[in-house]
Amino acid sequence: MNRDSSPLLFCAAVLFIAVACHPAAASPSGKATECPVCDCPACECPMCPSTTKEPESVSPSFDRRLWTVVHVTDGDTIIVTQRQPDNWVRREKVRLLQINTPEKGQPLYDEAREALKEMVKGGEVALEFARADEESRDGYGRLLATVFVEDTNLNVTLVRMGMSAYWTKYGKSRKYDVAFRTAEEEARAARRGIWQLTPGTASE
């Protein structure tokens, strides 16, 4: 035998053994069983699609557990309670985000408070926080939230009713900026609530 052909024969033998022992050849179905990412034969490494778990979904900012309204302080503040899993009752004062209704003694204070009372008369509301999974509070310790009764955004509704301007002193709404601006434009055009007052008295 020609010596020059020995390396070729050796390579051919190694290749034959590798193919014969490959997991795809041993699979009854004839399908490859190696990992398409890293070629591990047992598909047990952390990179394998067959063993990696789907990432847990990010908790939404929307608190889908309902809260019970126990008191309406004014047009932009309510007190709510919620029974916790260990059976204690959590009580929070909630300040509605992006609105600033008239204070006590100012025109339309009573109207704004009554409007909010009417909207929450069913007793149960849902809270949505500005950032996902992160409750925030104002300087008075009040929980800051967008308040919903079913699918109705009460914060935007109060602006549409003319009970408040779209209040952006601490920044615009991340999610509802367009809704707030549209609601304010509608209230202004119809001269509802604060927009029927003399210039400079709107709660901006």
Rounded-to-5 percentages of helix, strand, coil across the chain: 30, 20, 50
Give yes or no: 142 in active site.
Answer: yes
The span from the CA of 23 to the CA of 40, in Å, is 10
- How long, in residues, is the chain? 204
Type and span of the H or E element at 187: helix 177-190
Q: Contact 152/88 with Cβ under 8 angstroms? A: no
- 196 contacts: CB under 8 Å, gap ≥ 6: 162
Q: Check 44, 103, 124, 204 and give the catalytic one.
A: 103
Q: What are phi and psi of 170, to 5 degrees?
A: -110, 20
Q: Which amino acid is at 147?
A: V
91 is catalytic: no
Q: Which residue has the tokens 């126990």?
A: 70
Per residue in 122-145, is it b (16+ CB within 10 Å) or e — as a string?
eeebbbbbbeeeeeeeeeeebbbb
Q: Which of 95, 113, 160, 184 is catalytic?
A: 95
Task: Tell me if 118 sits within 8 A of 149, measured CB to CB.
Answer: no
Active site residue 95: yes
Catalytic residue among 113, 128, 142, 160: 142
Catalytic center residues: 95, 103, 142
